[in-house]
Amino acid sequence: MKDSNKPILLFKYGGNAMTDEALKQAVLRAITELKAKGNQVVIVHGGGPFIEKALTNAKIVSEFIDGHRKTTSEALEHIEMALKGQVNGSLVSLINNLGHKAVGLSGKDGRFVTAIKRVYRRQISDDIEEFDLGQVGDVLEVDTSLIHLLLANDYIPVVTCLAMDEAGHDYNINADMFAGELAGALKVRDYVILTDVDGLLRDKDNPETLISELRVEEIKALIAQEVIQGGMLPKMESCAKALSGGAQAVRIINGTKPEQIGLLNENVSVGTTIKL
């Protein structure tokens, strides 16, 4: 069903840029304009601020293990309501209002993503300690046929990062890792990570230190130098997943500057481009 003449662009969208309605509309307008110019687009989203609010309202206290949120079955109910009912529904409505046809999905729909329970391991001296994060998962397998079917029929898939394992248990998956796995499976032309900075910076406080091009093998050294740290770590891991899976390039750009999205169709350097 795939239209090989139209490249696929997959956007990972999330964070605080989703909480500003005017900015959200501008981002989606820029993405849909790329579709109008002959690309197929897929959007994968998280929703951290919305999850935090939903859990706070439900009086559920989040437990973190080395920065990883432990997810109980009770918490997952509220996470799913926030991601599917609030964030996904809002993005689908906005895209439809722009004159396109969006379809809201999670990895559970058509079981196009199969999850596996994540076991978090931490080295303590000479021992490896394992932690149960509850219903937190990783992507085990991706079946792209549903996404290709939607793209071939002119729909924009809007996907949130929930999936089931082979036994039918539900899991919340890190949105960066989910997006990277899907981008690789779809063999996209560009896997675009929308952040709130202009790309990967050598000095996070100096925008003039932008690294415009990067090879995957350089990532390990940048982590050792602490150029890559914090929230950029899972993004870089997802970049490596996408490229090893078959994506042609990864681009990290500033999602708070929607004009940068439009440049993806031009022969212009924007943000940080990562290739094998």
CATH assignment of the domain containing 189:
3.40.1160.10
**Start-to-end Cα distance in the chain:** 28
Task: For the full predicted model, state whether its pTM sits above 0.85.
Answer: yes
Neighbours of 206 (CB within 10 A): 9
Q: Which residue has the tokens 């925008």?
A: 207
Residues paired with residue 128 on neighbouring β-strands, in sequence order: 123
Neighbours of 88 (CB within 10 A): 22
C-alpha to C-alpha distance for 28 and 32, rounded to whole angstroms: 6
What is the span of the domain harbouring residue 145? 8-275
Per-residue pLDDT of 167-179, as tens digits, reads 999 999 999 999 9
Give pLDDT < 50 ranges for the chain: 1-2
Q: Is residue 200 part of a domain?
A: yes
User: Where are the alpha helices (H) located in 159-231, listed in sequence order?
Assistant: 175-186, 219-224
Q: Is residue 2 part of a domain?
A: no
**How many domains does the chain contain in total?**
1
Cβ pair 237, 176 in contact under 8 A: yes
Q: Is residue 3 part of a domain?
A: no
C-alpha to C-alpha distance for 272 and 192, rounded to whole angstroms: 10
3-state secondary structure of 6: coil
Phi/psi of residue 63, each to 5°? -105, 130
pLDDT recorded at residue 4: 61
pLDDT recorded at residue 1: 47
Cβ pair 167, 117 in contact under 8 A: no
Q: Which residue has the tokens 């079955």?
A: 73
pLDDT recorded at residue 153: 96
Reference 192, options 142, 258, 122; nearest CA is: 258
Q: Find the length of the chain.
A: 276
CA 261 to chain centre: 16
Q: Is residue 240 part of a domain?
A: yes
Q: Residue 226: CA atoms inside 13 Å, Cβ hemisphere, count?
A: 0
Amino acid letter for position 18 = M
Q: Is residue 188 part of a domain?
A: yes
Give the list of residues 6+ apart from residue 91 with CB closer than 8 angstroms, or none.
Answer: 13, 24, 28, 43, 45, 102, 104, 158
Q: Is residue 160 part of a domain?
A: yes
Q: Is residue 261 part of a domain?
A: yes
Strands (E), the chain: 8-13, 40-45, 63-65, 68-70, 102-106, 113-124, 127-142, 156-160, 162-164, 170-173, 190-195, 213-215, 249-254, 272-275
Question: DSSP string of 153-172?
Answer: TT-EEEEESEEE-TTS-EEE
C-alpha to C-alpha distance for 272 and 254, rounded to whole angstroms: 10
3-state secondary structure of 22: helix
Q: Is residue 115 part of a domain?
A: yes
